[in-house]
Amino acid sequence: MNPNIRSAGPADMPAIYKLMEDFSIFQKTPEKLLNTTDQLQNDSNDFKCIVIESGNMIVGFASYFFTYYSWSGKGLYLDDLYIDPSYRGKGFGKKLLDAVFDIARDANCKRVRWQVSRWNSEAIKFYKQIGATVEDTEINCDLSLS
């Protein structure tokens, strides 16, 4: 099982959206998924995403955007990373995360930042194993503009 990682294209949006739905259920917040497949396609200039495939099936995705941190400079924010549960524990998440880190390095980013739910102990353990610092000092603020 040798996975393929590549940039997402317009034809991938339905499969990515299905994984987003699955992720929202995993996060126990399906009501927060307000995006649509059409919106993903319409926002293609802003929606940066890579996918990981097994065979010809997309089994995970990572969405991200470039940002600028006033304290450290250019960065990449990893918005979501999700692997279908049946493909976890096979190194797919690590490969996808490494691909995100490569994108950040290629763009001369100084850091990659992302969030993890406090209850997601498996993900926290995984992130610490790869050398990430998992802080508990920030609280998210979110304001809907629609």
Residues that are catalytic: 127
The residue behind tokens 């979110």 is 142
Of 141, 138, 110, 115, residue with least CA distance to 127: 115
Query: Which residue type, as a one-letter code, is found at position 123?
Result: A
| Beta carbons of 59 and 52 less than 8 angstroms apart | yes
Q: Which element (helix H / strand E) includes 141?
A: none
Q: Report the C-alpha gap between 132 and 125 in whole angstroms.
A: 10
**Contacts of residue 88, Cβ cutoff 8 Å, sequence gap at least 6:** none
Q: How many residues does the chain have?
A: 146
